[in-house]
Amino acid sequence: MKEEKAKSLIKFLESTDKVSGEPCELTNETITGDKAVARMKTNKAPNGMAIEFVKEGGEWKMTNRSPEVTGVKPSAPAANAPK
């Protein structure tokens, strides 16, 4: 996601080459109360990406947020970039 400068998980997954319909694997779960973060790996993203989950009504639900993207600021333009 960082490499493609995706600003949200939804925008990252909107690209049809990212969604395969194949099962994914969740690893490295970290649970803090009713919030959690897990690394989601798929055949299209073998290194995975961190995804936030929330517990609502006793069930865990995936959000459209990733701590790897949250707070990422766009890089400053190069000094020699055209204006």
Tell me what pLDDT residue 24 has: 83
Burial of 61 (0-12, 13-18, 19+ CB in 10 A): exposed
Report how far residue 25's alpha carbon sits from residue 31's, in angstroms, rounded to the nearest whole number. Answer: 17
**Which domain does 53 fall in, by range?**
9-62
Reported as a single tens digit per residue, the pLDDT across 17-73 is 655 667 788 899 999 999 999 998 888 778 888 999 999 999 999 898 888 876 555
Q: What is the dihedral of CA 63, 66, 70, 72, to 10 degrees?
A: -150
User: Is 29 contained in some domain?
Assistant: yes
**Beta strand pairing call for 59-62 and 25-32:** unpaired
* Across 64-83, average pLDDT: 67
Report how far residue 49's alpha carbon sits from residue 61's, in angstroms, rounded to the nearest whole number. Answer: 16
Based on the structure, what is the number of domains in the chain? 1
User: Is 49 contained in some domain?
Assistant: yes
User: Is 15 contained in some domain?
Assistant: yes
